Amino acid sequence: AATAVLGTGLLAVALLGGGAAIAADPITLKLGYSLPPTSHYGVGADAFAKALAEKTDGKYVVEMFPSNALGGEREMIEGAQFGTIDLVVTSTGPVGNFVPDTLTFDIPFLFRDYAHARGVLDGEIGQAVLDKFPERGLIALAWGENGFRHLTNNKVAVTEPEDVKGLKIRTMQNDVHMRAFTTLGALPTPMAFPEVFTAMQQGTIDGQENPIPVIVSGNFAQVQKYLSLTGHVYSPALFIMAPSRWDELSDAEKTAFKEAAKIGADAMRKQVETFEADGIAKLEAAGMTVVEHPDGARFAEALAPAYAEYEKRFDPALIKRIREWQ
């Protein structure tokens, strides 16, 4: 592996294992993401970098900027639009502000399980959304995965939708999610991820929602007492690329980038499964009270007014097609 210490003080690792050579004059690409290097995003980004090096004979070296080193997800996506960041691994959280078609996937309780979500995203419905990115000044290489989101807070063991009333919950900068929490009577507070830990520590918010791997790797047990396994929404991730970089690639290189991103996405999904397998036990051991079976059916029922709005805003036939996907 080739390593270099960046000006940010971070260790950048260009993974060129598996016998891939570094070209004489490699092109270095900056890749940013919000989670630590050991996270599912880190594992996915490393697998992408390795596959890309192999597929392009070491022409492209990827420098990693994990842990929000290049800013929160919204800022990084803007960076890709401007061409100041080459690649971003991000949740769809803020992406709907750039490419509104992604918002349909952010509807709560849309996907039954991982197989359902992955099947839809990897099929023609997911591809049709990836195809919308260029007209919004971005390139989407592949869907990755953040995971099903669960609720944590410091006030109450949430089992019923009524328990959420009055809770100040940090959401992503995503109005589909915010609408859902408002409908439940919570006070959604959109906030960039880098600010969330301190906000929980200082009590400016009561809680937040994220997949188990994020709750574990973010050490949220230090500042949150209750975890409810609401699984209220699936959180897709994306490999995004700056169009300015993309336009420089040959057709064969474009294919290599997409294939490498798919390899990265598969590694990311595997890592989500690995972290989920022991994550809940870890959080309990760290002192969190876990509500394993909150009343999901009642949460979905309580969201009826929000669903009525989503049906008006998005294509109801598409929502139905996604729900009925087998």
Q: Name the residues that contact ligand PAF, by CB under 6 A.
A: 34-35, 73, 91, 93, 146, 172, 193, 210, 214, 235
Q: Quick one: 61 or 172, whose CB is closer to ligand PAF? A: 172
Nearest-angstrom CA–CA distance, 55 and 260: 8
Within the chain, residue ranges assigned H as helices are: 40-55, 73-82, 114-122, 124-130, 175-183, 196-202, 212-217, 243-246, 251-285, 296-302, 304-313, 316-323
Pick the closer one to ligand PAF by CB: 126 or 147: 147
**Contact of 42 with 15, CB cutoff 8 Å:** no
Closest distance of CB 326 from ligand PAF, Å: 28
Per-residue CA distances from 159 to 197, 200, 206, 229, 292 (Å): 24, 21, 16, 9, 9
Least separation in angstroms between residue 35's CB and ligand PAF is: 6
Q: Closest distance between ligand PAF and the C-beta of residue 219, in Å?
A: 13
Give the nearest residue (CB) to ligand PAF. Answer: 91
Nearer to ligand PAF, 83 or 190 (CB): 190
Residue 194, CB half-sphere, CA atoms under 13 Å: how many? 13
As a whole number of angstroms, the distance between CA 186 and CA 41 comes to 29
From the CB of 200, what's the least distance to ligand PAF, in Å? Answer: 12
In the complex, the smallest distance separating the C-beta of residue 210 from ligand PAF, rounded to whole angstroms, is 5
Contact 154, 226 (CB under 8 A): yes
How is residue 173 written in tokens?
Answer: 């900068």
CA distance 1 to 213: 26
Closest approach of ligand PAF to the CB of residue 31, in Å: 14
Q: From the CB of residue 292, how many other CB atoms can be counted at a distance below 10 Å?
A: 10
As measured in angstroms, the least distance from the Cβ of 169 to ligand PAF is 11
Is 146 or 271 the residue whose CB approaches ligand PAF more closely? 146
Nearer to ligand PAF, 60 or 181 (CB): 181
Smallest distance from the beta carbon of 43 to ligand PAF, in angstroms?
A: 14
Cβ distance to ligand PAF smaller for residue 41 or 226: 41
Tokens encoding 109:
């309780």
Indicate the residue among 26 and 144 with the shorter CB distance to ligand PAF: 144
What are the φ/ψ torsions at residue 216 (nearest 5 degrees)? -70, -55
Closer of 92 and 104 to ligand PAF (Cβ): 92
Quick count: other Cβ atoms within 10 Å of Cβ 6?
A: 13
d(C-alpha 186, C-alpha 130), whole Å: 32
Nearer to ligand PAF, 205 or 256 (CB): 205
Please state, in angstroms and rounded to a whole number, the distance separating the CA atoms of residues 301 and 59: 53
Residues 64 and 31: beta-carbon distance below 8 Å: yes
Least spacing, CB of residue 101 vs ligand PAF, in Å: 19
Token pair, residue 28, equals: 């270095």
